[in-house]
A and B are shown apart, each in its own frame.
Chain A
């Protein structure tokens, strides 16, 4: 609940400075003979304002990464207008204010984490003492302090991902661009990243989050655009996009069959409608897992992989309005809210009403428009299926601590 309140507070002041402004942004890839091969981004308009956590949502090939690469100057736009901090994205001054985590962390295998962060910090012209401080704090924050002298080539994907996140923060960026930030992370890492994003958002940082993991975006983003086929199919806040105002969910302690029957009768008498479905809320697998790990941690069971991070790096908090809290404290604090939220999610599941819901359904099925139509939607008001809970947690569990890229989603 705390997350949602924070978000609401931030979205209330979204008329600040434009960090990104895209108008009619188009990217067409050509082949060797300069014939158009693919229209990856097709005339999209959006803007990101200071302090916002902005989500780019879409299935593979929808144009998310291409948009981000244009924002970073790695690709040149074909048409349209694109400004970052009011300048062309290829301007070096712009990059001074940006932190970027690519969809995979492309690290130098021959460097160790300390050298890696020191190298990137040097590129920002950060002095020796300040570099040493930031490197130490970031390594502690992402839980790589104990492997600081180990070559990155020996790291698991999850550990590399953590290092990638650290390098994106080394310059204390005003604008953080994260492409699939939770890819390859274990559930704890995933939760830490989400909490870190919320923490950064609270401290006034602007974040662009690209993901096809819907829960990632929903949990942290103030505003989002949904891309499909290079075009924006929907845009707005999570509440605007997802709230089904035609239905009501009441959460209470367990009711007897008799009470439920009375409630049903009452509804029939007063509103002319009955109870559609009755279910007990279930805990999300993510929360269940977090509880297990927390218990193990309290029993001091050792692990050889990445340790779970410590405090948010203090240099990132220098302009914070409040003292930085430990991430693990945030994790503990947010657990109750997450339990309630899981009930809300379950009761809000697929309501195929209106065009926006259609788009989301498309995205979930990850089918192209030209492919056969998706199967029948779940029955109206049916209880949430386990698959709807959060399958990414299981994927992450399987993919972490493996040195290959098998866990990559996009």
Chain B
């Protein structure tokens, strides 16, 4: 036995002694408490000082010679509650914060400037800015340390830390801090993953078949290349994502890009891992006949399926917890980067890292008799079409259906078209909650004007219920926002907004309205009122829960499919369901647009009909899977409501998974696990 092996064995024995564990735990609690407690306290103090400074300077005016503005601009200091912030070196910089009229342009920038010398240099800014992130990270570090100590991985943790530092050192020495951070994070994530798997396996250590089988799946996932590949890619690529985001872009887009890529990547890789692992763990066990030995133990087939499923789901929980914490922390890190301007910073805080409820104006639909009347008129007015119908060149049913669709679209289009110089009123209903919350409203609009030129700016006037005008401008096809006070909502929860296709032009006679250059046209989802109903953190958790429910369904599908089908066929089936489910909204739209032409050959019509029915049935069955897209909602700062989580749980988690389980169990119960091995 080599000296190193002997030494390692001694250390291993030492770290398993209860006394050592208790001592190490105490040290970990004290150290983490001191470090993160200090960071939290320092951050809270800085945030409190920043608020006080903002309050003090926001109304200061250099031209009115108030004391605060004068002191700030000449001495570079501001006195708040008897304390003096800043020094003479800041005077020049302070003056630049006042505009020509002497008003303070950016109180937050003033606060940051005055507190610059009080910010600890060796503490990441995002931890000081967000107390909740400091608490979360501190808790995560403490949990990881305690789990390492009590699962016998304390020595491994030390070795991992050394390995991480060694890996990061070349990047750091080469001057690439982001790469060195990514290297340390990747190694840390891999360790945390192993730690959580081990902890979960210990948690599932009870002498019960379901728990034992689940724990075995976890071991299998660690040691099989098939699952390890996806897990490895996720844990390594996730920390690299922030590096690949252009810091030159507006901060809002940086945060949105990171959110979109990271959560999308996590779900994609977790879904692939789930499908492969759930199919492999059952199909290979049947193929390699380990199941002969397993099912001759007192394990009911129901328990076998549940155990396999639970193992895969436990692995997904681990992945989502690790990935979720990392994504959350990186979001904070990226959002602490300097914004382009105050509007950009505001957009991050109020439009991205937030959970908003949205509502669209009411659009009316043509009644059926009105629609039929218009269709009759159109057909009567088109002699060519009539003759084609008479000669059965075209079927009347097809023609009427196409015209109806066209007329309805035109009708809606008319409601969303404002000709130059004209105005149209839109009613937003159901805003009682926004009124009750007294939260500021965001009007999001994206207009077209017949041509898209990013250099063209067009005027538009918004008129509100109180009769106030808000002149705005827009670039075609780009989304714009306008913040509105909640007081605009009436007592019934309605908000009325009028779009006037005109601009205000200053003339010698005063401001005069000038009509727009073309008709304003917009889509149904391009004119919307949004209001904040919750924070980013709970929304993020709900989004991950929805993803977990979908992954749990995939795990059930994979496990049950593999009891009957071979590994490749079971994988193919699971991936087909995943793909159709994810694309269900697009598939639904395509199917609604798809029509079978009556003039085509009968065989072709029949084939088209069968294809359409299969596609429609698939879309109908799997619609719920793609209906809620938590990643898109998070990226757009929209709420993932608890209702959606419970609906997903009920439909996908209980009904779908239950149905798959019942079918899988019924088939598996009858299945003969052994095969004929005779001579004939």
Which A residues have a C-beta under 8 Å from some C-beta of B?
29, 37-38, 40, 60-61, 63, 65-66, 69, 72-76, 92-93, 95-96, 98, 100, 102, 104-108, 110-111, 115, 119-128, 131, 164, 167, 171, 368
Stretch at the interface among B21-29, B639-647, B660-668, B671-679: B671-679
Nearest chain B CB to A177's CB is how many angstroms away?
Answer: 8
Query: Given A40-B676, A74-B672, does the pair A125, B297 have CB atoms closer than 8 Å?
Result: no
Q: How far is the CA of A123 from the CA of B294 in the complex (A)?
A: 9
Cα–Cα distance between A98 and B298 once the two chains are bound (Å): 9
Cα(A40)–Cα(B299), bound, Å: 27
Quick check: A95 and B679 within 8 Å, CB to CB?
no
A128 near B298 with CB under 8 A, answer no
A-B contacts besides A66-B678, A122-B207, 13 pairs, CB < 8 Å: A76-B672, A92-B298, A95-B299, A102-B289, A106-B290, A106-B293, A107-B290, A110-B219, A110-B224, A122-B211, A127-B207, A128-B205, A128-B207
Which residue of A65, A69, A111, A120 is within 8 Å of B297 (Cβ)?
A120
Q: How far is the CB of B206 from chain A (nearest CB, A)?
A: 8
In-complex Cβ contact of A74 among B209, B215, B300, B674 (8 A): B674
Q: Could you tell me the distance in whole angstroms from the C-beta of B437 to the nearest C-beta in chain A?
A: 52
| 9 shortest interchain CB distances as A-B pairs | A61-B679, A110-B223, A122-B212, A74-B674, A123-B297, A69-B674, A106-B289, A29-B676, A100-B296
Is A72 touching B296 in the complex (CB atoms < 8 A)? yes
CA distance A92 to B207 in the complex (A): 16
Q: Mark out the residues of chain B between 266 and 301 whose CB falls within 8 Å of any chain A CB in the assembled complex.
A: 288-290, 292-300
**B679 lies within 8 A of A60 (CB):** yes
Known: A61-B679, A110-B219, A125-B208. Is A74-B298 also a contact (CB below 8 A)?
Answer: no
- Of the candidates A98, A104, A126, A128, the one whose C-beta lies within 8 Å of that of B296 is A98
By a CB distance below 8 angstroms, the chain B residues around A76 are 672
Return 12 A-B CB contacts under 8 Å, by A number.
A37-B680, A61-B680, A65-B677, A92-B300, A106-B288, A107-B290, A122-B205, A123-B212, A123-B294, A125-B207, A125-B209, A368-B679
Contacts of B293 in A (CB 8 A): 100, 102, 105-107, 120, 164, 167
Which residues of the other chain, B, contact A108 by a CB distance below 8 angstroms? 216, 220, 290
A124 and B216 form a contact (CB under 8 A):
no
Chain B residue at smallest Cβ distance from A151: B223
A75 in contact with B674 (CB, 8 Å): yes
Q: How far is the CA of A125 from the CA of B274 in the complex (A)?
A: 28
A180–B298 alpha-carbon span in the complex (Å): 23
B207 near A131: Cβ-Cβ < 8 Å: yes
B290 touches A123 (CB 8 A): no
Indicate which residue in A61, A102, A121, A123 contacts B678 across the interface (CB closer than 8 Å).
A61
Residue of A nearest to B303 (CB): A92
A171 vs B299: C-alpha distance when bound (angstroms): 13
Once the chains bind, are B298 and A37 in contact (CB under 8 Å)? no
Chain A residues within an 8 Å CB radius of B298: 92-93, 95-96, 123-125
> Closest CB-CB distance, B156 to chain A, in whole Å?
16
Q: Which residues of A contact B672 (CB under 8 A)?
A: 74-76
The interface centre, meaning the residue of B206, B208, B679 with most chain A CB atoms within 10 A of its CB, is B679
Instruction: Give B634 Cβ to nearest chain A Cβ, in Å.
Output: 37
Q: Which of B219, B289, B293 has the most CB of A within 10 A?
A: B293
Name the residue among B289, B296, B672, B673 with the largest chain A CB count within 10 angstroms: B296
Contacts of B296 in A (CB 8 A): 72-74, 95, 98, 100
